[in-house]
Every structure is written in structure tokens, then in C-alpha cells.
Amino acid sequence: MKIDLTIALAGNANVGKSSIFNQLTGLGQIIGNWPGKTVEKAEGVLLHHDKHIKIIDLPGIYSLSTYSQEEIVSREFIALQHPDVVVNVVDATSLERNLFFTLQLLEMGTPLVIALNLVDIAKKKGITINENKLGQLLGAPIVLTIATKGIGVHEIVDAAIEQATRKSQEYKNVIRYGPEIETRIEKLERVLADINIGYPLRWTAIKLLEEDSEIIQKVKEKNPDIIIAANILAGEISEIHKEPCATVIASERYAVAVRIVQEVQTFKESEKSSMGERLDALSMHSVWGYVLLFIIMLSILMLMSLFGGWLSETLRNLFENVNPHITGLWPDLAWNGGIVGLYATLSVALGFILPFYLIFGLLEDSGYLPKIAYLMDRPCHTIGLHGKACIPLLLGFGCNVSACVGCRIMETKRDRLITVFLSTLVPCSARTVVILGLVGAYVGVQWAIALYVIDFILIFIIGRILNRLLPGISVGIIMEMPPYRLPSGKVVTKQAWNRFKPFLMTALPLIILGSIVIEAMRITNVLSLVSNALSPVTVVWLGLPAFTGFLFIFGVIRKEAALVLLTTAAGTLDIRAVMSPVQMIVFALVIMIYVPCVATIAALTRETGWKNAALITFSEIGLAVLLGGIAFRLLSLFM
């Protein structure tokens, strides 16, 4: 397909870039009310008046002097890939801070369209922005948008097409720094004119004064003398202002932003929505905040356990009632393999996974997740991390893969490695299926909760150990707090569906296929061969039935498959007939800890390298087997 135009969406975190992207492309980028959702760039194509337009959704970025990994993705794309137009999505409720980045984009000379988003919320807050004047001052077209409702999104594309055709225009010099800085920028521009590193001259000069390591490297390759000159000039500026040159420039940019805001924005104190303030006061309270967090977590667990248990019970009755008398090989394969597999998959998918994503969607869309990061920052310090680590860890409850990738919001390599390791131990929805679907449903909810508690203690202990092993201390949290908002039912259900779809597409066929394979292996006795080979571990050490051996292997592919296939391998829908409560708990415990699933191992390799991935995988297998055996012996004493 020929692409006529490439548009990149860029701007601060949590301003609605992904919402606009979804509206334009019809794709399902994860959206929600917290900063740091998008850590990878996403692409989609839009057909707009016979033109194929590629839309790129970039991670949130506050400044071109980047701070964490996902910001570097954005900066590199804007600076090096040269999209035809950059659409700078700006939060109308905090114009000043957002303009700081806009001004940097203008300095770079990027063809720019500004999408002034969240104008509805700004209006509610009593903020009015004169968009014509703003456009004049910035020298870029302004489009008013309400991304969540799709208002203004197609006008963005119109404006971008128009802007792209006027590409060769001189960009307006919005920021004039003080004369002491301008003269030095000019001096640098003159020497930079002799070399070409692909960036605009003025921007390169400013970045050199800001001591940007990447630009310094690029210029150094061409002419190291320029760096020496730049250092002297930067030194002179810090001499005059008595502070580092980079902060002088940042302060001046903010001064320009303040001036623009004063000219274009009027603020009328409206009837304050004190509801948000009151919710903040409660959910971030020194005592009640933690009580609330605990209640929320516990009720999610109870709710899912009860609902999932009820659903699988209902489904089982349904399937057992129609249980035909089977004779012959093929009908047996079809029924015991295919249909039983389907039953088990449906009960885990509809009973646990979909409800989880719905509840999680409510939490993230309301804006509660960042409050958890605030509340948990102090506890996180005991394991050498800071509160932001809670975000990938919470994502881990859904899926460990997104948690591993989400760890890019951690600023240092060390923090990232610890968080990645710990996030593979978070009970993901697949593990929740095993814990709640097996232990919760057959042994008792209290035992399921106990398993969660054990898992959290384990995460804590391993965090402490990693904190000891890996030198350095965490940089500490710096994070924006978005205001609460009423979750939108449409967004939450759509989001849950987007997350659920991959499960249906990949897991369902895989599990049904797996069920048939297992049934075939059972008939041909291959299953017992595999199981017998593993029996020293499974039977002797862990005290489990022999047929579980194969499940552990299959569980590497998908963990929920271990439970689903349990019914097939056991040859009955009622697991109580073949496993004792102790065995169920041990089985779930081992599944919970041992080896991340293949998709997670792949993500681990990508994020941390194969050595770390192998280390994490094997240490978790060892840990699971060790703890499983201990648990079996302890539990057998009184159960």
C-alpha cells in the first residue's frame, strides 16, 4: 500500500493521543486515565478522502531532554524518522505545562498541527482558550477536540494534510531567549553550518548548550572542536545566571509559555467540582487510603472467585446433562478432547478473564491506578523500587507480557530489571484462573487468598534479595496525578474486549487442540510415559497425581491451559474425584510460581536479554518445585 502521508501523535502523557489514534484508525490501543500506558509506538492506516494516511501513536513525552525509555522512543521518532506532520496533542486543562513541549517542537522546526484536547473538561473548569490567538502566536493551526467522543479528530487530519503541503514554510521563531543566550546560539549556528547532522541548525545549537548527550555525540563525530566551543559558551551562560545552562533555557521556555497562556486563556472560577477533591482526600488519606485499597483488592478477588465458581458450576451441570454415552475412538476424541476442552475454556474465559479485564478497566479509566502508585511508593522503597513500579506490577495481574513491556516507564536499568523480575511473579489472569478455578472453587476461597498472600510475600522477599544483589538506589518517583473521572462504560467494555480478543484468538484454539492431543495421548498411553518420566518430581516430591506432569509442560505455553487440560487429563469434569485438597493447593502453588509462560519468556528476552530471561525462568522453576514440596509436606500434616 502506498502511504501518502505520515502523521505522528505526540504530547505529554495522558492527554488523549491514543484515544485520537483509536478514533482515527479503529484500532484498539490501550487507553485509560493514567500516565505511561503507551510505551511502544503503534501504527495504523486511515483512508481519508482517497488518501492513505499512516498514523503513529507515540508514548507520552514531557520534554525532548528525555528522562525514561519510552520518552526516547518518541523523541527518536520525531527527530530521526521525520514524519510529514507532527500532531501535538495538548491538554487544554494544563496549557502551560503542555506548551513547554510544544515550544520545543517548534524549535525543532517540525511541521506542526496542534490538537487542543479535553476542551470539554477545560470548559467545566472555567477555562476558555482563544484558539485563534494561540494559533497566531505559535504559527501552527489549532484544532479543538474531544477525543473520547471523536469530536474534531477528522479535522486534525484535514489540518495535517494542509500543513504538509506548506511544508517548506519558514517556521516562526516563537521563542527569543535573552540576548546573552541568543548571541551564543548564533555563534554556534555559524560553526554548525559547516557540518550536517540532519537536524535544524538553531535546534542543534540549543541542544548543544543544553548539553544533550546524544546531540553532543553526533556533532563530536563530525567536528569535536564545536563541542569545546559549546561547552565554553554554556559555561558563560551559567556564569551569568548562576545556574546550569540547561535549566536557564528551560526557565526561559516556561516564561514564554506563561506569557502565551496569559494572552490566550481566561479563567473563571466555576462552581468547583469538589467531588474530585473529596475523592482525592479519601483515596490518598494516610489511613483510609490504605483501608480503601485493601477493601478494593479483596472485593475484586472475592467477586471474581464467587462469579467464576458459580459460572463453571453452571456450565458443568449443563455439559454433564448432555453427556452422551461414547463408544469408538473418534467420538471419544471429539467429546473428551474437544467438547470438554471447550467447556473448560469457556468457564475460565467468561468466569475469570473477562470479568477481570472489566474490573481492571474500571480502575484504570477512573484514574485510581496512579493513587495506588502514590500509596505504595513508601512500601516499594523497602524492595528498592519506587511507586511507579506498581503500575507494571498491576498490569501483571492482567498479563505478564504487558507488565514486562510496561516496565519501560522505570527510569534506570536497575529499577527496570527488578520490576521485570517481580512482574513475572504477579498472579496474572491465567494464574488467577488456576488459583480461583481450582483452589477457590473446590477447596475454599480462604485458601485461594492464602495463595495470593504467599505470592505477595514471595515478591517482597525476592525484591529484597534483588535490591541487595543489584547495586544502586532507586531514583524516586516523579509522576503526574490525573484527576478522577467517571469511567465510560463504552470505553471499559471495548477495552476489555480488546484485551480479551487475543485470548480467544490464540488460547482457545490452542487449548482445544491441546485437549484433543492429550486425549489422543491418553488413549495411546504416551501420556503415562511422559508423566512417568516426570514422576520423581511430580509424584514423589510434590505428591501430585502422575498425570499432572504433562500439564506442567503444557502450562508453559499457557498457564490457564494447565487447569483446562486438567479436566481432560483426569478424564472427568469433577476434579474432586481425582485430586485431594492438598494436591489442588500444591498444584496451584507450583503453577503460580514456576516458569513464566512462553509469551512472557519472549518478552523477558526482548526487554532484558536472554541471559536475564534464562536466569529468571530457571530460578522460578527451582523456587516453585522447592516451595511446592515443602507445602505438600506441611499441608499433609493437618489436611
Partner 1 sequence: MPQEHVEEYLEAIYDIAGRKGTAKTTEIAERLDNAPASVTEAFQRMKQNGLVRYESHKGVSLTAKGYKVATKMKRKHRLLEVFLAKILHLPKEKIHEQACKMEHTLTDETETALCKTLKGPTECPHGSPIPPCNLEVKNCQQCLAEVIGAFDKRDKDIVAITSLQPNEKAKIVFVRGGGGVTQRLCDLGLTHGTMVSLLREAPLQGPIEICIRGCKLVIGRGIAEKIFVQKT
Q: Which residues bind partner 1 (CB under 8 A)?
A: 62-63, 65, 67, 93-94, 96-97, 100, 238, 242-244, 246-247, 250-251, 254, 280-281, 284, 286-287, 370, 373-375, 377-378, 386-387, 411, 475-483
Three-state DSSP class for residue 112: strand
- Closer residue to partner 1 (CB): 165 or 247: 247
- Closer residue to partner 1 (CB): 218 or 241: 241
- Closer residue to partner 1 (CB): 133 or 381: 381
Cα dist. 334→317, 324, 339 in Å?
A: 19, 12, 6
CB 121, min distance to partner 1, A: 13
Collect all residues with Cβ–Cβ distance below 8 Å to 191 and sequence separation of at least 6.
223, 225, 226, 229
- Closer residue to partner 1 (CB): 226 or 373: 373
Task: Tell me if 372 sits within 8 A of 36, measured CB to CB.
Answer: no
Specify the amino acid at residue 289.
G
- Closer residue to partner 1 (CB): 276 or 622: 276
CB 59, min distance to partner 1, A: 16
Task: Locate all alpha helices (DSSP H) within 503-544, ordered by sequence.
Answer: 508-523, 526-535
- Closer residue to partner 1 (CB): 409 or 521: 409
CB 525, min distance to partner 1, A: 60
CA–CA separation, 360 and 492 (whole Å): 9
CB 371, min distance to partner 1, A: 9
CB 77, min distance to partner 1, A: 19
Outline where DSSP puts E strands in 169-296: 265-267
CB 619, min distance to partner 1, A: 29
Task: Tell me if 60 sits within 8 A of 35, measured CB to CB.
Answer: yes
- Closer residue to partner 1 (CB): 2 or 242: 242
- Closer residue to partner 1 (CB): 476 or 509: 476
- Closer residue to partner 1 (CB): 122 or 311: 122
CB 397, min distance to partner 1, A: 22
Beta-carbon count within 10 A of 636 CB: 13
Beta bridge partners of 7: 55, 85
Collect all residues with Cβ–Cβ distance below 8 Å to 471 and sequence separation of at least 6.
414
- Closer residue to partner 1 (CB): 245 or 399: 245
CB 239, min distance to partner 1, A: 8
- Closer residue to partner 1 (CB): 68 or 535: 68
Beta bridge partners of 54: 6, 45
Task: Tell me if 538 sits within 8 A of 548, measured CB to CB.
Answer: yes
CB 151, min distance to partner 1, A: 23
DSSP labels for 269-308? --S--HHHHHHHHHHT-TTHHHHHHHHHHHHHHHHHHHHH
CA–CA separation, 522 and 456 (whole Å): 37
Specify the amino acid at residue 345.
T
CB 129, min distance to partner 1, A: 13
- Closer residue to partner 1 (CB): 231 or 605: 231
DSSP labels for 388-431? GGHHHHHHHHH-HHHHHHHGGGSSSHHHHHHHHHHHTTS--HHH
Task: Tell me if 475 sits within 8 A of 302, measured CB to CB.
Answer: no
Beta bridge partners of 115: 89, 143
Q: Minimal CA–CA distance to 567: which of 512, 525, 523, 528?
A: 512
Task: Tell me if 593 sits within 8 A of 624, measured CB to CB.
Answer: yes
CA–CA separation, 564 and 555 (whole Å): 10
- Closer residue to partner 1 (CB): 241 or 633: 241
Beta bridge partners of 6: 54
CA–CA separation, 70 and 75 (whole Å): 9
- Closer residue to partner 1 (CB): 155 or 480: 480
As a whole number of Å, the end-to-end CA separation of the chain is 65
CB 509, min distance to partner 1, A: 44
- Closer residue to partner 1 (CB): 178 or 502: 178
Task: Tell me if 163 sits within 8 A of 198, measured CB to CB.
Answer: no
Q: Residues, the chain, total?
A: 639
Q: Minimal CA–CA distance to 10: which of 82, 55, 46, 58?
A: 58
- Closer residue to partner 1 (CB): 67 or 456: 67
Specify the amino acid at residue 466.
L
CB 483, min distance to partner 1, A: 8
CB 137, min distance to partner 1, A: 18
Residue 44, φ and ψ in degrees, nearest 5: -155, 160
Q: What angle do CA 98, 103, 104 make, to 5 degrees?
A: 100
Q: What angle do CA 328, 329, 334 make, to 5 degrees?
A: 105
Task: Tell me if 423 sits within 8 A of 431, measured CB to CB.
Answer: no
CB 413, min distance to partner 1, A: 13
CB 115, min distance to partner 1, A: 19
Task: Give me the helix-helix angle, 508-523 and 526-535, nearest 10°.
Answer: 90
Specify the amino acid at residue 476.
G
CB 407, min distance to partner 1, A: 18
